[in-house]
Amino acid sequence: MDTIKGFIFDLDGTVYLGNEMIKDANQVIDYLQENDKKILFLTNKTIESREKYVKKLQGFQMNVSLEQILNPTVTLINYLRKYHPNSVLYIIGEPIIKDELTAAGFQIAEKPEHTDIVILSWDRDFHYDHLNFAYQAVKHGAVTIATNPDRTCPLEDGDVPDCAGMIGALEGVTGKPIDIQIGKPSVLTVEAAMDVIQLLPEECLMIGDRLETDIRMGVEAGMKTAVVLTGITTATGIVSAPWEPDYVLESVADILNHDMKK
């Protein structure tokens, strides 16, 4: 662990479950900060603002600043500003992502035929009208961008459907895959994370509960990786996974205990 300069933590299922902190997660963060390690919290969620994530983590007695939180909305805004600065958007998502994209200066489409890009993010009020608008927009040539590919989100009482449900619905009716995916494991997220933490991928450890996003991203980027068993992934699920983590942790507390095992 001494050779690792940056620790990149997933949030849901890794640092907390719902409103319950994973035991000793705050002590892990304290320990790493005391040893001059750089820390970034990297989530695929778009249903809360970064300010709320900071408040939540501070409520767990973690010394965290806004600059240490990266979510797909930030990466998406930077991507759109660079490649589609004047695009008109239709957003399947909750109010926070719509507000943030509007505040960033993007116009919201009122008709499918006026839509340049359909944004798909986790929306717990997703319904048929959303799907039909997006479908008609794609028929008129709109590009599709998803904020993350997560199938489910882990909570205290079990997991719930995530953004993959919205993606699957649109792919099912259009018959073609989403054009661009912003969140983990996308290289766009890797680039954004390295810009924030100011390190090379090989100097970082990616810690998360999801093999197909957290661990895949870390492996493909050249990071060290650690999967925790407090969220989606189980010990049996690791055996057949195409992305092998460097370490398997019962929880993030294993970092505190120096219990970093293959």
Q: Which of 42, 9, 43 is nearest to 26 (CA)?
A: 9
Which positions ≥6 away from 95 have C-beta within 8 Å? Answer: none
Mean local confidence (pLDDT), 57-61: 97
Q: What pLDDT score does 148 carry?
A: 96
Phi and psi of 64, rounded to 5°? -130, 140
CB neighbours (10 Å) of residue 151? 16
DSSP state of 201: G
Let me know: does 9 contact 15? Beta carbons within 8 Å: yes
Let me know: does 71 contact 46? Beta carbons within 8 Å: yes
Q: Which of 220, 213, 182, 176 is nearest to 83 (CA)?
A: 182
CB neighbours (10 Å) of residue 157? 8
DSSP-based three-state secondary structure for 20: strand
- H-state helical runs in 116-163: 128-139
From 135-139, 166-170, 217-221, 240-244, the region with the lowest mean pLDDT: 240-244
Write out the CATH class of domain 6-71+184-256. Answer: alpha beta
13 backbone φψ class: left, alpha, beta (φ>0; ψ -120 to 50): left
Answer yes or no: is pLDDT of 261 > 90.
Answer: no
CATH 3.40.50.1000 in the chain, residue ranges: 6-71+184-256, 84-181
Q: How far, in Å, CA of 106 to CA of 84, rounded?
A: 10
Mean local confidence (pLDDT), 142-161: 93
CB neighbours (10 Å) of residue 178? 18
CATH number of 84-181: 3.40.50.1000
Percent of the chain with pLDDT over 90: 90
pTM value is 0.91
Tokens of 97: 């992502």
Q: What pLDDT score does 262 carry?
A: 44
Q: How far, in Å, CA of 247 to CA of 24, rounded?
A: 19
